[in-house]
Amino acid sequence: MRPSYLADDVIIPDPTLVYFATKQRFDILVFIQPTSPLIKPEYINVGIEMMKTGDYDSLFTVTEEHWLPRWDEYNNPIDWDITDRPRRQDKQKSFIENGMMYITTVDSLLETELRYGGRKGFIKIPLRDSFQVDTQEDLDLIRKLI
């Protein structure tokens, strides 16, 4: 059981994870988001094995993003010059935190009060498995995928 102030519909998980860490003994926490139904056991296993190396205090899942020109609501390019449009192949690789899973040590969680901190690493998840359910449209898409 957790306090009601940590159990509403808009809570960010970090305070709840910290609360849990003050009530339970553990070394490593694997936090899986219920909005990521396409998670596979091998992703969890890869993360645990990475944590066992001692090289990381926390891990999170990402999906590689291909650069696409982005625009703000006022029709201005975001982080690129319209007169010197870059090619996607020339842009630095980037990754999107997909929210599927977070793994952290209890020490890092209690020190930072965040689901990731210290020496961070990531686990690459293929796009086909990275989708989250946040809307009815997301749910419809995932139903088609499975």
Q: Nearest 5 degrees, angle CA 61-CA 109-CA 53?
A: 60
Tell how strand 120-124 and strand 70-71 pair up. Answer: unpaired
Contact (Cβ atoms closer than 8 angstroms) between residue 47 and residue 28:
no
Q: What confidence category does residue 14 fall into, taking pLDDT thresholds of 50, 70 and 90?
A: very high
11: confidence class by pLDDT, cuts 50, 70, 90: confident
d(CA 58, CA 109): 9
Q: Is the pLDDT of residue 25 over 90?
A: yes
User: How many helices (H) does the chain have, and how many strands (E)?
Assistant: 4, 6
Q: Is residue 56 within 8 Å of residue 116, measured between CB atoms?
A: no
pTM score, whole prediction: 0.87
Please tell me the total number of residues recorded for the chain in this structure. 146
CB 119 within 8 A of CB 57: yes
103-132 average pLDDT score? 96
pLDDT value of residue 1? 79
Question: At CA 7, angle to CA 5 and CA 136, rounded to 5?
Answer: 135
Pairing verdict, β 70-71 and 77-78: antiparallel
CATH 3.40.50.2300 fits 4-66+94-145, yes or no: no
